[in-house]
Amino acid sequence: MSVRSLCLAILSFGDATGYEIRKESTEGRFSYFEDASFGSIYPALARLEAEGLVTVREEPQAGKPARKVYSITQAGRTEFITSLSEPQAADTFRSPFLLVALNAAQLPPDVVRRALERRKMQVQEELRRLTDTDCHPEAPHPGSSWTRDYGIACMNFTLAYLEDNGEALIKIAEDAAGPVADAAE
């Protein structure tokens, strides 16, 4: 998904400022789809406006510059649906933890153990966010619920895998370290 499509996706749920789009793309329900910085969002919004796919209105604010609020047009909705109808790129997954796991045999066991515990805590935090009804109230949009449930299933599987197989990863580091690691513990 491109930043352009991400902006249209967010705006298809309601009007938003560039700041709100950024917040939704980094912390909100759209944070799972595409990385988007302010440096990519605002140029995308400007192009979308120039193409008639979004409109912008300025809302005055007391003591501050007016804020720009973007709305998707019917042409923007059509463009968005067309973009979703095209074959999607493969999902991408990047994990600094997996780089540690890949190199476990080169690392001290305590480094691997800490990385494993950190990853479990991160997954538990993500599960907490996904199941927190304050962050994710019961949405009237059925796709939102399905997408959240998919994320919960992925995080539950990840946590179970880490719990069931974490000691095997630590053992890789211990075996590579040999007697030095045993004497240090």
**Could you report the per-residue pLDDT of 78-127, keeping only the tens digit for each?**
999 999 998 988 888 889 999 999 999 999 999 999 999 999 999 999 99
Q: What is the pLDDT of residues 28-67, one digit of tens each?
A: 778 777 777 778 899 999 999 999 999 999 999 899 988 9
Note if the pTM is more than 0.85. Answer: no
**How many C-beta atoms surround the C-beta of residue 66 within 10 A?**
10
* Residue at 49: amino acid letter: E
The count of residues in the chain is 185
**Rounded to an integer, what distance in angstroms lies between the CA atom of residue 65 and that of residue 75?**
29
**Using CB atoms within 10 A of its CB, is residue 159 exposed (0-12), middle (13-18) or buried (19+)?**
middle
- Is the per-residue pLDDT at 183 higher than 80? no
Q: On the CB side of 41, how many CA atoms lie within 13 Å of its CA?
A: 23
